[in-house]
């Protein structure tokens, strides 16, 4: 190898290392980077683990009130809800209807959006987010199986991670890259512009960040753009198919962003033909998938009140332009506005600030405790008339109670057939997954020995609210396991007792909810009535599943 070529390669490697080091320093210096990386890693890891239950993923989402609200708004768009069905009101039911992977993908998209909130570069960040989610959505629409569709979404989403992070943390470099790509032909591609400005490819940046976040190797492999020419043989059944599927989705999204609408049909057709053999694409598969992906992205933006100005290239990604042959229908600017309106998208012609999508600012007021409880009860009612999993219903009950009371922790205890005592089986909230193991409530009392509070409440079937557990009259009735491991100052107990004709009542479970400060748990009569309804729905679920 000539010395000059060796020196050039060394300089390139140095530039790449310097860019990566600088980006990591910028990310670590911003407060939100640790939260972003932790959220992505946890949601991704939970959804891929065979040992984690569905409710653990729900618990992770429920820890973030804003994410919970956004997720529920998105799953109620037409793409996810079946026609004629009632709204989805709990994360638990969302998981049961669209699956762990579907909820995982939505959560990952929304976590990325949550951190793209820099007001100075709002429009650029918004466009980067829409570009990223469109590429992932288009890849999922091209998937041959549901499993491949889910993998394709995540792999393509994270392949765009490098550009998202550069746009957020290195906005000047991102703008320089945009300027290069906007130059007259032959303008450099995104990959070439990144190499010129940053000294490193964006997929290499994304891979390095993925390593920092401990993302799975299979996901990181999909995040790397495949090198070399597209194979001329079918890739069905090979890992490479997923990688080239992501590349096609990226290329098609670029075409949708940067190709004049009258020429877009031909551009997509060329991409379709070039990838048809390797990816076994049916005729018009890419154009059809692009139309469906546009509709899904428009529903997402409408659900999140996320707007882009009509002059923005990102508007072309929404359900505003026809995909296959826009010139055949003579779409005008006036027609475009009408299409956007009919899609439910409020296009803001003024330069918008980036919408703050925090709790209570999603275009509708935050729900009151009564509304949350009522909605959850309706969700459970809808579930009970279908084929259902008992665990899913119980988790919906806990989730509704957790959100409706704004509780610190909720735990469900179930009667153990072997020991005859109530044991913690499910939990939500701060450390509840670990604390549930501490719950051991005996259902029998030794002669002459007074029952502890939990045993007495369960055996008497007495709904009980403890306003201040520090009061001497209450403290002396608390079992040792509670004072040692739980030690909450205020809590609510709702026993589950099965009425049996001609036989003694049978205690089958206990619902526990607490808050940290004494006196902070004060449900009114209406709320208490709704809580009892929730408990009764749990009992009904046991009866129906018996």
Q: Of 316, 302, 189, give the one whose Cα is nearest residue 261.
A: 316
- Measured CA to CA in angstroms, residue 386 lies from 167, 222, 319 at distances of 46, 38, 34
pTM over 0.85: no
CB–CB of 49/60 below 8 Å? no
Q: What does the pLDDT look like over 70-92, one tens digit per residue?
A: 778 777 776 666 544 677 888 88
Number of structural domains (the chain) is: 2
* Residue whose structure tokens are 């018009």: 284
335 and 375 fall within a common domain: no
Q: What percent of the chain has pLDDT over 90?
A: 34
Query: Is 331 a domain residue?
Result: yes
Please tell me the predicted confidence (pLDDT) of residue 408.
93
Q: How far apart are CA 519 and CA 256, in angstroms?
A: 57
Q: Of 460, 516, 451, 508, give the one whose Cα is nearest residue 479.
A: 451
CATH code for position 492: 3.30.450.40
CB–CB of 219/113 below 8 Å? no
Please tell me the predicted confidence (pLDDT) of residue 82.
57
SS3 track for 276-330: HHHHCCCCCHHHHHHHHHHHHHHHHHHHCCCCCCCCCHHHHHCCCCCCCCHHHCC
CATH code for position 192: 1.10.3210.10
CB–CB of 275/281 below 8 Å? yes
For range 224-244, the mean pLDDT: 91
For range 439-445, the mean pLDDT: 93
| Minimum mean pLDDT range among 165-169, 439-443, 481-485 | 165-169
| Minimum mean pLDDT range among 45-49, 173-177, 201-205, 244-248 | 45-49
Q: How far apart are CA 245 and CA 149, in angstroms?
A: 10
CB–CB of 278/233 below 8 Å? yes
Q: What does the pLDDT look like over 136-190, one tens digit per residue?
A: 999 999 998 888 888 888 888 888 888 888 887 788 888 899 889 888 888 888 8
Query: Is 302 a domain residue?
Result: yes
248 and 327 fall within a common domain: yes
321 and 374 fall within a common domain: no
For range 90-116, the mean pLDDT: 73
400 and 336 fall within a common domain: no
Phi then psi dihedrals of residue 185, to 5 deg: -60, 145
Q: Which of 293, 325, 342 is at the close of a domain?
A: 342
Question: Which 3 state secondary structure label does DSSP give 193?
Answer: helix
Tokens of 314: 């990102």
282 and 418 fall within a common domain: no
Q: How buried is 502 (Cβ within 10 angstroms: 0-12 exposed, 13-18 middle, 19+ buried)?
A: exposed
Query: Is 352 a domain residue?
Result: no
322-343: buried (b, 16+ CB within 10 Å) or exposed (e) per residue? bbbebeeeebeeeebeebbeeb
Q: What does the pLDDT look like over 108-126, one tens digit per residue?
A: 777 666 655 554 566 777 7
396 and 513 fall within a common domain: yes
191 and 74 fall within a common domain: yes
Query: Is 411 a domain residue?
Result: yes
Q: How far apart are CA 451 and CA 315, in angstroms?
A: 66
CB–CB of 159/203 below 8 Å? yes
| Minimum mean pLDDT range among 10-14, 260-264, 395-399 | 10-14
For range 376-394, the mean pLDDT: 89
* Residue 308 belongs to domain spanning: 12-224+236-342
Query: Is 217 a domain residue?
Result: yes
Q: Strand (E) positions, 369-463?
A: 409-415, 422-429, 440-441
CB–CB of 97/88 below 8 Å? yes
179 and 321 fall within a common domain: yes
**For residue 214, is pLDDT > 70?**
yes
Q: What percent of the chain has pLDDT over 70?
A: 79
Give 401-418 as a DSSP string.
HHHHTT-SEEEEEEE-TT
- Please list, in sequence order, all residues whose beta carbon lies within 8 angstroms of the beta carbon of residue 267, skipping any fewer than 6 positions away: 255, 259
Tally of CB atoms within 10 A around 481 = 15
Query: Is 348 a domain residue?
Result: no
Q: How far apart are CA 538 and CA 507, in angstroms?
A: 13
Residue 494 or residue 87, greater confidence: 494
For range 89-115, the mean pLDDT: 74
Please tell me the predicted confidence (pLDDT) of residue 386.
84
Q: What does the pLDDT look like over 340-370, one tens digit per residue?
A: 222 222 222 223 332 232 333 334 456 788 9
**For residue 7, is pLDDT > 80?**
no
402 and 259 fall within a common domain: no
Q: How far apart are CA 319 and CA 541, in angstroms?
A: 42
For range 9-29, the mean pLDDT: 67
419 and 287 fall within a common domain: no
Please tell me the predicted confidence (pLDDT) of residue 81.
63
**For residue 525, is pLDDT > 70?**
yes
Query: Is 2 a domain residue?
Result: no
Bridging pattern class, strands 464-466 and 506-515: unpaired
Query: Is 92 a domain residue?
Result: yes
Residue 284 or residue 324, greater confidence: 284
**For residue 242, is pLDDT > 70?**
yes
| Minimum mean pLDDT range among 167-171, 286-290, 468-472 | 167-171
- Measured CA to CA in angstroms, residue 255 lies from 13, 252, 286, 339, 538 at distances of 30, 5, 12, 21, 52
35 and 171 fall within a common domain: yes
State the pLDDT confidence band at 394, using cuts at 50, 70 and 90.
Answer: very high
For range 315-322, the mean pLDDT: 69
Q: Which of 323, 342, 361 is at the close of a domain?
A: 342
Give 512-531 as a DSSP string.
EEEESSTT-----HHHHHHH
321 and 378 fall within a common domain: no
Tokens of 469: 């557990």
């Amino acid at each position: 190898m000539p010395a000059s070529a060796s020196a050039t390669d060394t300089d390139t490697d140095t530039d790449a290392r310097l860019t990566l080091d600088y980006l990591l320093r910028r990310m670590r210096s911003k407060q939100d980077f640790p939260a972003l990386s932790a959220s992505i890693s946890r949601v991704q890891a939970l959804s891929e683990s065979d040992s984690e239950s569905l409710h653990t993923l729900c618990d992770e989402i429920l820890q973030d009130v804003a994410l919970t609200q956004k997720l529920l708004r998105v799953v109620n768009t037409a793409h996810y809800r079946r026609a004629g069905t009632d709204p989805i009101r709990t994360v638990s039911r969302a998981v049961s209807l669209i699956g762990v992977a579907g909820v995982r993908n939505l959560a990952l998209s929304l976590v990325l959006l949550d951190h793209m909130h820099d007001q100075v570069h709002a429009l650029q960040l918004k466009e980067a987010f829409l570009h990223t989610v469109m590429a992932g959505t288009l890849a999922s629409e091209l998937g041959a199986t549901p499993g491949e569709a889910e993998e394709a979404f995540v792999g393509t989403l994270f392949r765009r991670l490098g550009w998202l992070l550069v746009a957020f943390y290195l906005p000047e470099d991102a703008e320089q890259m945009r300027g290069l790509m906007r130059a007259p032909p032959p303008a450099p591609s995104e990959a070439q512009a990144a190499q010129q400005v940053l000294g490193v490819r964006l997929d290499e940046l994304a891979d390095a960040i993925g390593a920092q976040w401990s993302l799975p190797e299979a996901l990181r492999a999909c995040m790397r753009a495949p090198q070399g020419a597209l194979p001329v043989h079918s890739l069905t059944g090979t890992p490479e198919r997923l990688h080239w599927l992501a590349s096609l989705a990226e290329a098609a999204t670029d075409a949708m962003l940067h190709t004049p609408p009258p020429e877009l049909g031909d551009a997509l057709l060329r991409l379709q033909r070039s990838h048809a053999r390797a990816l076994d694409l049916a005729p018009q598969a890419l154009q059809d998938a692009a139309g469906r992906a546009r509709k899904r992205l428009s529903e997402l933006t409408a659900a999140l009140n996320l707007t882009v100005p009509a002059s923005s290239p990102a508007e072309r990604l929404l359900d505003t332009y026809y995909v296959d042959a826009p010139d055949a229908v003579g779409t005008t600017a006036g027609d475009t506005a009408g299409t956007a309106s009919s899609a439910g998208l409020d296009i803001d012609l003024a330069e918008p600030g980036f919408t703050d999508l925090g709790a209570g600012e999603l275009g509708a007021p935050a729900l009151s405790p009564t509304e949350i409880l009522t909605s959850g009860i309706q969700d459970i009612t809808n579930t009970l008339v279908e084929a259902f999993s008992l665990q899913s219903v119980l988790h919906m009950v806990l989730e509704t109670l957790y959100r409706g009371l704004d509780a610190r922790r909720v735990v469900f205890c179930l009667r153990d057939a072997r020991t005859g005592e109530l044991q913690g089986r499910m939990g939500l909230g701060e450390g509840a997954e670990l604390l549930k193991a501490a719950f051991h409530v005996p259902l029998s009392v030794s002669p002459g020995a007074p029952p502890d509070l939990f045993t007495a409440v369960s055996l008497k079937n007495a709904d009980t609210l403890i306003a201040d557990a520090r009061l001497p009259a209450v403290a002396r009735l608390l079992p040792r396991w509670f004072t040692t491991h739980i030690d909450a100052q205020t809590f609510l107990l709702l026993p589950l007792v099965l009425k049996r004709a001609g036989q003694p009542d049978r205690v089958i479970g206990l619902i526990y909810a607490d808050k940290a400060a004494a006196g902070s748990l004060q449900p009114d009569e209406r709320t208490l009535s709704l809580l009892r309804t929730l408990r009764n729905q749990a009992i009904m679920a046991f009866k129906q599943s018996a």
